Amino acid sequence: MSRSEIFSRIESICQTIFGECTVITEKTAATDLEKWDSMTHVTLIASIEREFGVTFDIMEIIGISSIGDFVDCVQAKQA
């Protein structure tokens, strides 16, 4: 799966969680979205894991600070 396909699917998840009008880029981080708090972060992780059939380990989760980081993690797990 290409990076753009992964991003598109993650973007769709973000639209569901944060709202349809939310602009999401690979650089989008928790500090950019008022609705991105600790609970929505957990929801985002679980939703991405379910969507792609992957599981993030604790070190990956600690290293995730943007949507692009999620894309990187998913892409690495599909390699």
Dig out the tokens for 47 from the structure.
């939703």
Select from 44, 47, 16 the least CA-distant residue to 29. Answer: 44
User: pLDDT tens string for the chain (79 positions)?
Assistant: 999 999 999 999 999 999 888 899 999 999 999 999 999 999 999 999 999 999 999 999 999 999 999 999 999 998 7
Residue environment code for 58-75, b if the CB has 16+ CB neighbours within 10 A, otherwise e: eebeeebebbbebbbbbb
In order of their start, the domains of the chain are 3-77 (1.10.1200.10)
Residue-level pLDDT at 57: 95
Residue-level pLDDT at 76: 95
The whole model's pTM is what?
Answer: 0.93
- The contacts of residue 54 (CB under 8 Å, 6+ apart) are 48, 73, 74, 77, 78
